[in-house]
Structure formats: C-alpha cells, structure tokens
Amino acid sequence: MSKALETVISEFSKMTQIPRPSHHEERISAYLCQWAKDHGLHVEVDEMKEVIIDKPASKGCEGVPRVIFQAHMDMVCVAEEGVVYDPLKDPIKVINDGKTLTADGTSLGADDGIGVAMALYLLGDDSLRHGPIRAIFTTNEEDGMDSMNIDPKYLDGAYLVNLDWETVGSLCNSCAGGDFFIFSRKADWEAAPENSKTMSISFSNLLGGHSGVGINKGHANALVSLATAMAMLKQRGIGYRIASFTGGQAPNAIPKFGKVSFAIASRNVPKAKAVLKEFMTEFKDAFDNIEKEYSFQVEVNDAAPERVLGKKTGYGLIDLMTMAPNNVHTMSPFIDGLVESSSNIGTITLGEETISFADFARSSVAYHATQIGVICQAIADNCGFELRNDGHVPGWAVNPNSKLTEITCKAYEKLTGIPMIVEPVHAGVECGAFAEKNHALDMIAIGPTLLDVHTPNESCDLDSVRVTVELLVEILKAIAG
C-alpha cells in the first residue's frame, strides 16, 4: 500500500469517529480547523462552519495559478432496519478488508469523507510540487447545499477540483440543479370510527439509492408504492382513515422502506386483503427482476387506532402522493442515457400539528425545472396542501474550453493507459454553486469509486482511491509545470 493511500485511509478513519450528519457539522468543522493549525497552515471558518485552508506554493511555483480542492463535511446517516444508531452521537464502525471500505450496519460516509481525506493528504504532504493550494470543506451539501452562500472571496482561483464524485476514470463537467419542494397542511386528528380495526401495510428492504444518479435504475419508491396501494383501495370502494405513514430517511434518497396504518371497517378487511393481493401481483410483475430481496407485509389488529386524520385530509394526502412528480421526468435528447429532469418523494412526516412530505426535483434545463414546479403547485392547490420551495440548487454548464479537463484527461491516461470518460451528471454538485459565484473558474469533479451511497451498503474501492490521489498529484504537477 502506498504512503499516500495509507495517509488518506488514516485521515478518513479519524473522521468516522466524529458524528457529522447534515446540519450538525460543528465537531468535524472544529476538527479540521485544528488540523490546519497543527500543520501550520492558514485557516478560516465562515459563519456556516465551512473550513477554508490555504497552503502556500512549493519553492519556485509562487507564480502558478491557485488550485482549489473542495469536498463536503456532512454525510447521509442511514442504518439497516433494526440497527441501533444515533447519528448525532455514534461513530461509524469501518470495515477494511484490504480492498474495500464498508461500514457495520450504517452508511460509510465516504461520500464525501474520502474526498475530505484526499484533500488533507495534499495539504499535508510537503514533498509535492504545486502552486498555491486552497481546500474548501463545505457544510450541509446533502440537504440544502450551504455552499450556495459561500463568500466569493474564497473562490479566488483559476481551477477548482470537486472531490465529490463516485467513479474512478470518470470526469464530471456539468450537473443538474435542484429544488426541495415541501408539501404540507394542518393535521386534523380525530377519533377512529366505531367498529374499526387497524390495518397496516409495509415495504422493507427495497434497494433505495441516490435519487439523482440512481433515479433511472428502476428501483421502487416505498412511499409512492404504499400510496398507490392505498389509492387502489379507495378506487375499489373500500374506505379507510389514515392513522400513520412513515418511511424514507432523506429527501435525496429513494425510500427503501415505509409503513402506513389505517382504520378500516371490520367487514371490509377481506375485500382489502384481496385488493392488496392484486396490487402485489402487479408490483411483482413490475419489480421482481430488479428488487430481489424486498418484503411486503399486511397486518391486521382487532383494536382501532388511537386517532386518525380527517377523511378529506387523509384522502388528499394519498391523492397528492400518487400525483406528485416522482421518477424520471425527461431524458436528454442530446446525450444518450442521460436523465434531463426528475423528482423523488423522499420523506414523509405526520406530526401533531402538520403533515408533510418532501419531493426533490432535479433538472439540468431551466424549463423542465419550472415545469415540475408548476405541476407541484397545481396538484398541491387541488389537494388542499401548501407548497414551499425549501431550497434551490444551481446547475453547472459545460465549459467547452476547459484547460483543467484537458490536463486531467491526459494525466489519467498517462497513469492508467485508459482514456478518461467525460460526462455530465443528473445530480447536484457544488460546482453549480461555485459557478454562480465565479464564472471564470475552470472546474471538474473527480473521485474514487463509491457504490450504494446513501445506504448501509455504501462501499469505497481502495485501489480507486490510490489512482485518484496519484491523479491529483499529477494535476498539480502539470499546472505547476
């Protein structure tokens, strides 16, 4: 194992002991700030707790343009069903088999902890030849992208390398923007009808995955699937009153589990079971060749629920969840296989005062982003819900004159003998935020191979980390030369 790879693994391992879910990056921010001070480097921390570290040029390279390396501190914290895990307190238990990094029962956080670790290696190795280096470690990338509010002064550089990419040998040169839509209305809880039983239906162990790069893989959305089953009951004349609806773990992750419980008249239980059996026949036809290990459960409890939503509210929720945009919206007419716009219903909350669910829409084309927003507003109005946009993520257009792309592709082919793939992505990359602040920045996104991010099956290929680190060193050399 190379010294560089050992250093990256060591730095990453230290970070896994520091809880860092989105919106709670205070401890990892303080850690990185102290790391910079311990290494004698200039460091600043902005009001969002983002950390900016500067390393001066190596001798003879003082006039070389500055290169900015950027990664985000936060991670999507999810766990296997049944695993006790508090993302605000518990460390990640890393498993290293010599080839791959995984975690024991939770997400790994290599997205984007491994990017942070690679940047720390570049900052800490004084044997490298390079011009001025800046590392920017951002907060809340996974759930809102704080970097949209970064002070433009920190983006004073010629080149920026985003380290939040998940396939070695691939270079991202543009990304989709996004909008976090929240549908909500006041909850009107009341007593369950007399002579009711409690019926529950649930999905578990679906594949889930990233709602951007994984939206076209055909994975089932647990929340939408459950809403579809409930809509079928209503269409067949079987009334019900919603008691609870749970599932999903992040707005930008395809829900892999969910459960809905409802009050139903005792006489309608057999009819409901028959409709749900029909639903599952159709679900299996659609997904059995994709979803291999899922479970669908139907349970009946003779006791009625303690409370239920008002009839209009409950039916409105189901109607809205079946109508709200979800999955691929449009495909690019110019690039084969590229999703142009999409949306994902990711989380749902039935609280004491409010019921709500999140729909994260993505698009690399402004018109389709507007169109999805118009659709969401129209169906919210029709179903008695309010709609708000909880955050907009800007897109990043292709730079056909990118010198950094050319430098990186040449360096990668020199290292591996394999041509690098240059491709846009249907997901939010922070380069979009940076492009709005400094239009002159020449940017790319690269990184090692990560699989199943945002899930407990997340993994990081170690040899791809080695290759990526070597590539970053070569990029610095080429720019300095």
DSSP codes joined into one string, 113-126: HHHHHHHHHHHH-T
ω into 104 cis (within 30 of 0): no
Task: Please tell me the predicted confidence (pLDDT) of residue 174.
Answer: 87
304 close to 198: Cβ distance less than 8 angstroms:
yes
Buried b (16+ CB within 10 A) or exposed e, 425-461: bbbbbbbbbbbebbeebbbbbbbbbbbbbbbbbbbbb
CB 46 within 8 Å of CB 151: yes
361, 304: one domain: yes
With beta carbons less than 8 A apart as the criterion, state whether 147 and 433 touch: yes
**Span 448-458, pLDDT tens digits:** 999 999 999 99
Query: Got the DSSP string for 74-105?
Result: -B---B-TT----TTTPPP-EEE-SSEEEESS
- Same-domain status, 358 and 421: no
Residues 342 and 422 placed together within one structural domain of the fold = no
pLDDT at 306 over 80: yes
DSSP code for 241: E
**pLDDT tier, 441 (very low <50, low <70, confident <90, very high otherwise):** very high
Among candidate residues 345, 371, 393, the one where a domain is terminated: 393
The CATH number covering residue 359 comes to 3.30.70.360
Do 157 and 252 share a domain, yes or no?
no
Measured between alpha carbons, how far is residue 476 from residues 125, 131, 173, 463 in Å?
Answer: 13, 7, 19, 20
Shared domain for 227 and 133, answered yes or no, is no
Number of helices (H) and strands (E) in the chain: give both, helices first: 10, 25
**378 with 456, same domain?**
no
Domain count along the chain: 2
Confidence of residue 392 (pLDDT cuts 50, 70, 90): confident
Residue 312 DSSP class: H
Cα–Cα distance list, 182 to 75, 372, 385 (Å): 21, 13, 10
Extract the runs of DSSP E, i.e. beta strands, from 374-449: 386-393, 421-425, 442-445
Indicate the SS3 state at residue 7. Answer: helix
**Do 382 and 182 meet the contact criterion of CB atoms below 8 Å apart?**
no
- Looking from the CA of 135 toward its CB, the CA atoms found within 13 Å total 27
CB atoms within 10 A of CB 43: 16
What residues have CB less than 8 Å from 446, skipping those under 6 apart?
161, 162, 163, 165, 170, 171, 172, 408, 468, 471, 472
- Edge to edge, the sheet with strand 386-393 lists 327-331, 339-350, 354-363, 177-186, 386-393
Of 354, 370, 393, the position where a domain reaches its end is: 393
Domain at 18, CATH number:
3.40.630.10
- Asked if 425 and 455 sit in the same domain, the reply is yes
- 162-208 confidence digits (pLDDT tens): 999 999 999 999 888 889 999 999 999 999 999 999 999 999 999 99
CA dist 404 and 413 (Å) reads 14
pLDDT digits (tens, 9 = 90+) for 234-257: 999 999 999 999 999 888 899 999
| Residue 219 in this model has a pLDDT that exceeds 80 | yes
Q: What is the pLDDT of residue 422?
A: 93
Number of CB atoms found within 10 A of residue 67's CB? 24
* 192 and 273 co-located in one domain: yes
Q: Which of 332, 365, 393 is the last residue of a domain?
A: 393
pLDDT tops 80 at residue 335: no
Share of the chain residues as helix, strand and coil, in percent rounded to the nearest 5 = 30, 30, 40
- In a shared domain, residues 126 and 75: yes
| Tokens, residue 183 | 């549908």
- Is residue 228 very low, low, confident or very high in pLDDT (cuts 50, 70, 90)? very high
Same domain, 214 and 292: yes
Pair (306, 221) in one structural domain: yes
Strand pairing report for 159-162 and 67-72: parallel
The sheet carrying 258-265 orders its strands as 241-247, 258-265, 196-204, 295-301
Of 15-29, 128-142, 196-210, 359-373, the one with minimum mean pLDDT is: 359-373
Q: What is the pLDDT of residue 391?
A: 81
Q: Phi first, then psi: give them for residue 141, nearest 5 degrees.
A: -75, -35
Distances (CA, A) of 388 to 2, 183, 362, 368, 374: 50, 7, 16, 18, 12
The reported pLDDT for the residue numbered 213 is: 86
- What range defines the domain where residue 314 resides? 179-393
Percent of the chain residues topping a pLDDT of 70 = 100
Q: What is the pLDDT of residue 396?
A: 84
Hey, how many other C-beta atoms are within 10 angstroms of the C-beta on 86? Answer: 10
Query: Looking at the structure, do residues 257 and 133 belong to the same domain, yes or no?
Result: no
**pLDDT digits over 48-73, tens only?**
999 999 999 999 999 999 999 999 99
> In the chain, pLDDT over 90 holds for what percent of residues?
87
- Which strand (E) or helix (H) includes residue 110? helix 110-124
Nearest to 52 by CA among 155, 145, 136, 161: 136
Distances (CA, A) of 273 to 233, 260, 280, 344, 384: 9, 15, 10, 28, 29
Determine the residue type at 331: M
